[in-house]
Structures are given as structure tokens and as C-alpha cells.
Amino acid sequence: MEVLKYFLNNKYTESKSENYYEVYNPSTGELIARMPKCTTEEINEAIISADAAFKKWSATPVLKRVQVLYRVRELMNERLDELTLCAATEHGKVWEEAKGDVLKAKEATEHAISMPSLMLGDSLLDASTGYDTVLYREPIGVFVGMAPFNFPAMIPMGWMVPLCLACGNSMVLKVAGATPMTALKMAGIYKEAGLPDGVLNIISSDRVDSEALISNELVKGITFVGSTSVGSYVYRTAAKYGKRVQALCEAKNHALVMSDAHIDRAAAGIINAAYGCAGERCMALPVVVAEEAIADRLVAALKVQAEKLIIGCAYDKSSALGPVYSAAHKAAVTEWINKGIKEGAKLILDGRNVTVRGFENGFYLGPTILDYVSEEMSVGREEIFGPVLCVKRVKDVEEGL
């Protein structure tokens, strides 16, 4: 088992913390690493380092900043399989999904490379008599990124890091304790690409010490992706300290299937949307609203297609549905299924007792379908974040909307 190090000043640094997150391989159930919950002193050191690096990095011309990202992109291409395997191993999403996770990080990096155009300002002569107006877009300072467990490459190393750095800011990235390895591996790529010391530091911490990240006077803004409960806390706390903040939180997405739909085609699209990444994504499709006239046919088609999904080890390229990311989350999703049945939903397909030969200790759940779900049921309102599809029945389009 590996004891991971946090990333400070372009060096993997041993933490003095006595508290750790446990990192599992969800496919096997094996404990593979421990990630330190950095101490308050280590968090502050990461912020001070980022602030010191900001002064020189922000003065670096944007054309030179994006040259670093060009090299990051090339190294990501060269190590695509290595990064894919890392994401699949620590999170549990199947090979093509893990590959897509890494490729989306690369795609966002490519977008950040266009920053010389994106940061262009604006001007207007004679906005008023004797006055011209000029708009500049300037680097601001140290930003904190708070990443979730479910996309260990795309969100921290795609949505957050490259755009922040291309703008001339520096970042302290707080990775998810359960899935830190891909981002840490990619930090090494940034170093190899020529990123100066301190521009990117990566830590992990518990919720108590997270306030130290948000409240520090050197931090100018926070970007967060995760649960609504934590996101609300981050937003409130950041606002209290006068910080710039964005918080992207949970969703309960619905699809409306009308009576003139092509049933098999609709079912195929729904299966992919509902069970991709084992439902552990905010853009998953956990609810289908079906017109009563075609509901029975749709549910039957969904069951047939869901039963065809190959459940297996994340890094077996034949697998279509991998494990959920932790034993605790498996238990939580199982409880959601139990709750739905108690609330009156009809169990069409049960994924609670799935096992995979050779991987009996993995955190597997099969595709589950609950029919006759209503708005009064908690499973119909709240995000489950697992491979569970709820079907709500309506008389017509107007009721569905």
C-alpha cells in the first residue's frame, strides 16, 4: 500500500499529518493507498507558495504561459493509457469512460491554450466627451479548486487547473481524498512541461481545515464541484469572507418520453445516460417521465437492454458497467433502492446482489429500475448518484412537463 504525498513547489512532499483518507480499488475492494489530510500549517504553506509564485507567473506573457499548456497537452497524449488506467483503478469507471475523463481534461487544456484570444480586452473611443473606455482582463491571484471524487481528471485537471493557470493565476487544488492519484500524477506532467514552482500545489484536507483554504486572505476565489450540502457551505463561507466563488452542485435530471417515440432507440439512449459512470455524474439521467400510453413498452425495453450490460472490472475493456467508488457509497445506494421499494415504487430490475467472478470483494451494483415512482417519493426527488433509474408515469406531455 502506497502512502501518497501532497504536491508543493513542484515536489511530492511527505505530510506530517497523522490522519489519512483511504484510497481503494473499487474493482477489487483492495486498499491501495492512503492520502494525507494535510495539516493547517501545510495548507497555509501551499497558499503562501502559490501567492509567491503568482507574482512572477502573472507577469509572464500569456503567449508564454500557454506554451506550458501546449507541452502538457502533448504529454497527456503520450501517457493517455497510463492516465486512463489510473483513473479506472482509483474510481471504478470502465476503461472507455476513464479514457473519456482524461480526454475531457485534455480538451479543456486545449481550450485554455486559446487564452491569448479569450483574454482580449475591449475599448471604446469617445464613450463620453473627452473620455475613452478601455477594458483589461488581468490575473487576480491565488484560487482554490475543490474537486469531487467522480471525475479525477476532467474536473480538477480540466475545468479548474488549466484555465486558472492560463489566465495568469496560481492554484491550490484540493483533491478528493478517495480519488487523488490521477490529479497527482498529472501534476508531475505540469512540472515536466515547465510550470514554475508553486504555481500549482495539490493538497487534501478534511472539512474543518477546508475553511482555512477559503478564509485565507491570500485566496482571491474558490471554484467547487460536489454535493449540494457541501457546496452551500462553501458558497456561504466564501461569501462571508468576500471571496469570488462558484459552486456547481447536484442535479436530478429528467427525460420526457412521449407516445410517438421510437421505443428501442429511446431505451438505448436512456440506458447509456442512466448507467454511464455507474450513475456517478451530475449529468446522469436518473429519472424517465413516460407517457402512460407507452410506459409499459418502454419499461420492458429498458429492462431488456439493461440486462445486457456487462458488469465487470473497470480496467477490463469488455466491461460496460463498473463498480461504484466505495463500499460506503454502495451501501448508501442500496439503501436508496430499499427506500424506494418501501415508498411504493415497483422493482423492475434489482442490482443489489450482483457479484463479479474473480472480483467478489469489489463494490459492484447492477443496473436497477424502479417503476411507478412519484414526486412524493424521496427517490423521485433527491439525487441517488448510482446505477438506479426511476420511471415516473404521466397522462400526457403537459403533466410530464
Catalytic residues: 282
Q: Hey, which bits of 216-356 come out as E strands?
A: 219-225, 244-248, 254-257, 287-291, 346-349
Contact 363, 329 (CB under 8 A): yes
Q: Which residues contact 128 (CB under 8 A, 6 or more apart)?
A: none
- Identify the sign of the CA torsion 316, 318, 319, 325: positive
Q: Hey, which bits of 261-367 come out as E strands?
A: 287-291, 346-349
Closest CA to 299 of 252, 263, 245, 326: 263
Cell reading at 315: 480496467
Look at strands 30-36 and 2-3 and give their pairing: parallel
DSSP string, 205-231: --HHHHHHHHH-TTEEEEEEES-HHHH
User: How does DSSP classify residue 159?
Assistant: I
Contact 319, 367 (CB under 8 A): no
Q: What is the C-alpha to C-alpha distance for residues 197 and 68, in angstroms, rounded to an integer?
A: 13
Q: Which residue has the cell 486558472?
A: 164
Q: Is 244 exposed, middle or buried (0-12, 13-18, 19+ CB in 10 A)?
A: middle
Q: Which residues contact 300 (CB under 8 A, 6 or more apart)?
A: none
Count of beta carbons in the 10 Å neighbourhood of residue 186: 28
Q: What is the C-alpha to C-alpha distance for residues 83 and 99, in angstroms, rounded to an integer?
A: 8
